Copies of this chain bind each other. A is one copy, B any other.
């Protein structure tokens, strides 16, 4: 199957610790890499996980808190020493684009690639990236500063040809692509063979939603409805629910509630407060609400297919 994975480079919150790095993930879609958030130390984690700078052309920043982007200057500088060419697009709120550009125009002025800034507006729902196989779209999160989530959606796949029927109707090779895309076949005598008789259903398209940082909000569940795998922040345990709300964060149970409301298949939780020496309590509380929960961890790679 075509590769569609998410790599966890950092799943801590606020400050790097001995246990966790600040937020950073890399989605690998058929060997194209897409970074989501870029906390300090991201470049080192990127290399530790054996990822290739030359395959990274899009970086998505959820919001303008330092633990989600202080790794960007170093990452972009190091990429300039690794024969990255062409362009790298940073999808980021307007003020972040301005501040990054100020620094990069000075510190990275000899960069061998262009840095392009795609400005995301607060509250925007928009496809910010698209290629032949994938879209990435933004949707609002509800943090104490403007924040945006990202949904990675595989485009609809081709239907499977039924070899027996293709042979039976003597369908020429030139017609097969259209049939895989859903077309009926018209025989020389004008008779129409419906697509359903020639193909079986395409494999389902896979999707991944990134939701950090945010308080629990049903609007998030609505925006990501039907997504297969959800990453949702789970900064705190039940006993800290009040603090979660005050800080614009979620508990693990709240993360699981959103995943359930959204009808997701699987939940990854992260953005752990540094107060936890083990995140087992978060896993347990989330699992009481939603069956399939994974604890994020640095170095973890999850197959999304």
Contacts and interface: CB of A to CB of B under 8 A. Distances in A.
Interface residues of A, number: 29
Contact of A70 (B17, B18, B77): B77
27 contacts: A14-B78, A15-B43, A16-B41, A16-B74, A17-B44, A18-B44, A18-B47, A40-B41, A40-B43, A40-B71, A40-B73, A41-B41, A41-B44, A64-B106, A64-B107, A65-B107, A66-B73, A66-B108, A67-B77, A70-B70, A70-B74, A95-B106, A99-B102, A99-B103, A99-B106, A99-B107, A102-B102
Nearest to A48: B18
A66 B107 contact: yes
A240 interface: no
Question: Which 4 pairs, one residue from A and one from B, show the smallest C-beta to C-beta distance?
Answer: A40-B74, A70-B74, A15-B78, A66-B77
B106 A103 contact: no
A81 interface: yes
Contacts of A71: 40
Given A18-B44, A66-B73, A70-B77, 19 more contacts: A14-B78, A15-B43, A15-B74, A15-B78, A15-B81, A16-B74, A17-B47, A18-B47, A40-B40, A40-B41, A40-B71, A66-B77, A66-B108, A67-B74, A67-B77, A70-B74, A99-B103, A99-B106, A103-B103
